[in-house]
Amino acid sequence: MATDATKPRPATKNTSVTVTSEMEEAPTRSYDVKELPRFQFFLIDSGWIGPVPELIRQNLGMITHLHDNDPFYILSSEQSNQILKKHPHLIGKDPILLARDLHGSRMTGATEYHGFHLNLGIMKDPEKALDVLQHFLNFLAVHRKSQSIESKIRQQLHRDGFEGAIEVLRGGAESLI
């Protein structure tokens, strides 16, 4: 279903950024090739023309390489537009990378949906958008085997709690936005 526009291309020199020291190191472990998928990724991209959407399209390959055990669905611009029309609260937020947590569904029953999304469309600076994407993928890789990844999102990405507040005020969160 991927159109030519959504096919990944190698990143250009202009768009590469240094991976920040904020990123955590993934614990050393051996991956089981037959490990069940933890996430289902969906990319909703209605086709806005701009540096950030283009940058995401160029780096899609990295997501599939880093999370090659998880199915990754790329919606065409027509399919994305259908979703946006049906759910207008998403307009202006795409490209959206939606990660459905299959582990959460398995634990609590198939009727409940668990997961999180990254609204890259609200980013204006392509370098910061790439930084955020890398940070997000790093977070998912590090916490892939976590039982409660949603609580880690709240603690570490939303900077909840006292420590988080200190970090936000120190400017740690500002560098992500």
Using CB under 8 A, which of 52, 130, 132, 137 touches other proteins? 132
Residue 8 near residue 57, CB atoms below 8 Å: yes
Q: In the chain, what is the greatest distance between 2 CA atoms, to the nearest angstrom?
A: 46
Residue 176, judged by CB atoms within 10 A of its CB (0-12, 13-18, 19+), counts as middle
Q: Is 141 in the site for other proteins (CB under 8 A)?
A: no
* Of 10-18, 23-31, 45-53, 161-169: span binding other proteins (CB under 8 A): 161-169
Using CB under 8 A, which of 14, 21, 89, 109 touches other proteins? 89
Residue 148, judged by CB atoms within 10 A of its CB (0-12, 13-18, 19+), counts as middle
Q: Residues 9 to 38: which contact other proteins by CB under 8 A?
A: none
In the bound complex, what is the minimum distance in angstroms from residue 65's beta carbon to other proteins? 7
Amino acid identity at 2: A
Q: Is 55 in the site for other proteins (CB under 8 A)?
A: no
Of residues 15 and 40, the one with the C-beta less far from other proteins: 40
Dihedral angle of Cα 58, 62, 67, 68, to the nearest 10 degrees: 90
Tokens representing residue 174 in the block: 């500002």
Contacts to other proteins by CB under 8 A: 1-2, 7-8, 40, 42, 60-61, 64-65, 71-75, 79, 83, 86-87, 89-90, 93, 98, 100, 113-119, 122-123, 132, 136, 150, 153-154, 157-160, 165, 168-169, 173-174, 176-177
